[in-house]
Structure 1
Amino acid sequence: MLTGKQKRYLRKEAHSLKPILQVGKGGINENVIKQADDALEAHELIKVSVLQNNMEENENTAEQLTAGTKSNLVQIIGNTIILYRPSRNNRQIELPERGR
């Protein structure tokens, strides 16, 4: 679970990122989860764009993605979901300390 301070830091880091993945009419399936999982392993922090033709609510889509990839939801803003998961082999992002 991320602290508020860590989420603020990750939102700042994600600001300049372009969406890596798009979720459309088909919604969340195994292929989308696999792509998100691979992207998280490579980048740790990703933006996912939810297209207008997706029938699911963005919150449900985010919940399915975080559960499928075992990642942390950083933010949902409009039709964009920001996810974070530390890489197993290639850690790039150093989060601020928990607590004081």
Structure 2
Amino acid sequence: MLTGKQKRYLRSLAHHLDPIFQVGKGGVNENMINQINDALEARELIKVSVLKNSLQDPDEAAEAILKGTKAELVQIIGHTIVLYKESKENKTIELPRS
């Protein structure tokens, strides 16, 4: 579980990132969850964009992604979801102690 201080730190790191996944009309599916999991292992911090034509709102999409990937939700802002998951093999982000 992330503390407020850690979430603020991750939000500051994510500010300059572009979304690398888009949730479209089909919503969140198993293939997308697998790809997001791989991206989280490689990068630790990613953004996911929920398109306007998506049948899921950003909260529902985030819930489905979190359930499938076991990642931490950093922030939902507008149609953008910021996710963090500590990498097992190439850890690059050092979280501040609470």
Moved over 2 A (4+): none
Letter in 2 for 1:90: N
Cross-structure match for 1:39: 39
Coordinate RMSD, CA, aligned = 0.6
Cross-structure match for 1:76: 76
1:7-39 C-alpha deviation (Å, 9 max, x unpaired): 000000000001111110000100110110011
* Cα drift, residue 56 of structure 1: 1.0
1:60 and 2:49 aligned? no
| Structure 2 gap segments, 5+ residues each | none
1:39-74 C-alpha deviation (Å, 9 max, x unpaired): 100000000011111111211110110110000000
Q: Matched residue of 2:74: which SS?
A: strand
Number of equivalenced pairs: 98
TM value normalised by structure 1:
0.96
Matched residues in 2 for 1:58 and 1:21: separation? 13
Cross-structure match for 1:96: 96
| Structure 1 gap segments, 5+ residues each | none
Cross-structure match for 1:16: 16
Matched residues in 1 for 2:87 and 2:14: separation? 16
Matched residues in 2 for 1:39 and 1:20: separation? 9
Give me the identity figure in percent: 63
Q: Matched residue of 2:81: which SS?
A: strand
